[in-house]
Amino acid sequence: MIIPAFDLINGNVVRLYQGNYLNQKKYDIDLYENLKLYASKGIKFIHFVDLDGARNSEKKQLEFFKDIIPKINISIQLGGGIRNENDINTLFKLGIKRVVIGSAAIINKREVKKWLTIYGSESIVLALDIRIDTVNQKKEVAIHGWQENTKFLLEEIIDFFLPFGLKHVLCTDISKDGTLSGPNILLYKDIVKKFKNIKFQASGGVGNLEDIVNLKKSKVDSIIIGRGLLEKKFTIEEALKC
């Protein structure tokens, strides 16, 4: 599945370079028209990142989503500043289909384990952003907008949550994000082979149609595409044909 992605600050579409709020690019696009186009082409999910909420969980862009969700016929998965059950319940009441849990999956495992049990595997996506050690190829998870490395490995986190119904994992190779330089195909081939019951969403580096073809061959379930579509490296029609 192709999942177009939009990062938002104050309702505006932006891209941060390597997670740096001081290094952001704004895109002058009509988001609503883009979403209508994607719906007409059969896109099933849109991935949103609430960067305001990620930086300050009290400043989530709830009014924006409250306004736009009734106007579009596409399911939304949303990440950014989701810290507790109240956050999750609020988003589901707005009509969000899936919530994306990032740092909390590392620093608050017990709660996330409970959320998987309460809300079900289709409602929770774990976002695991990794840096790959060039010496031993270990996939080390980073949190808090990539500012903090952890001692945890990707495989350890997935293994921990599998017994509680984990199904959807959004995996980003940090070194590839926003670069258009091509995704880490070897990474996705490896983790798809190791975890046959997980539906992986590949994120980071997609810059041309060949990247999409190669990711499909890796057998990931979905491909997150942000900058490639925003900067018209290819059209949504071309991406879907792959």
Distance of CA 205 to the CA centre of its chain: 13
- Which residues fall within 8 angstroms of residue 174, CB to CB, at 6 or more apart? 18, 19, 129, 130, 131, 142, 146, 204
Cα 221 to Cα 26, 143, 168, 204, 217, distances in angstroms: 29, 24, 9, 15, 10
Residue 242, number of CB atoms within 10 A of its CB: 15
Q: How far apart are CA 81 and CA 13, in angstroms?
A: 17
Known active-site residue 7 = yes
Describe the crossing of helices 109-119 and 154-161 by its angle, rounded to 10 degrees. Answer: 50
Let me know: does 128 contact 105? Beta carbons within 8 Å: yes
Phi-psi region of 68 (alpha: psi -120 to 50; beta: other; left: phi over 0): alpha
Q: What does residue 72 show for φ and ψ, rounded to 5 degrees?
A: -125, 155
Name the catalytic one among 50, 52, 87, 129: 129
Name the catalytic one among 7, 52, 87, 211: 7
Known active-site residue 87 = no
Q: Amino acid identity, residue 197?
A: N
**Which residue numbers are catalytic?**
7, 129
